[in-house]
Amino acid sequence: MIFNKKRFSELLSRAKGDRSINNFGRISQVDPGYISRLLRCQIDTPPSAAIISKLGSKAHNNVTDIDFMIAAGYIDESSESIQKDNVDEEKDLSRERTEYVIRELVKKYNIDLTDPHDVETLEDLIKIVHRNNQK
């Protein structure tokens, strides 16, 4: 897992749009100071799936949770599951593709489905995948 701070910062800036950091933080329920540090590449570890979900849910300029997940290093950019052949395919995330992404995340990060913290993380990841499906 490689956190691409520069790419994440660029995506976050696009996602913020013309809103202030404080406004974006307020509506996404993410600390504006944390957003500022991410924008200035001062954070060395990727945001959690929960934070990415919050940022992605209020993102502008067609920035998706999946874009954030790739930049954060949670999803491999070359993965078959996230290739974008055209806009229609991107909007039509199939059940099979969703299940594939979830299986890969569980396998890659050794998520223990008997551990409540791991289950919470997986639930955040599922929300991200489903929200991307609705866009």
Question: Model confidence over 11-57: pLDDT tens digits?
Answer: 999 999 999 999 999 999 999 999 999 999 999 999 998 899 999 99
Q: Which of 92, 119, 93 is nearest to 106 (CA)?
A: 119
**For the whole model, what pTM was predicted?**
0.65
Average pLDDT over residues 126-131: 71
Looking at residue 134, its pLDDT comes to 59
Question: Model confidence over 72-118: pLDDT tens digits?
Answer: 998 877 654 444 444 445 444 566 666 677 777 777 777 777 777 87
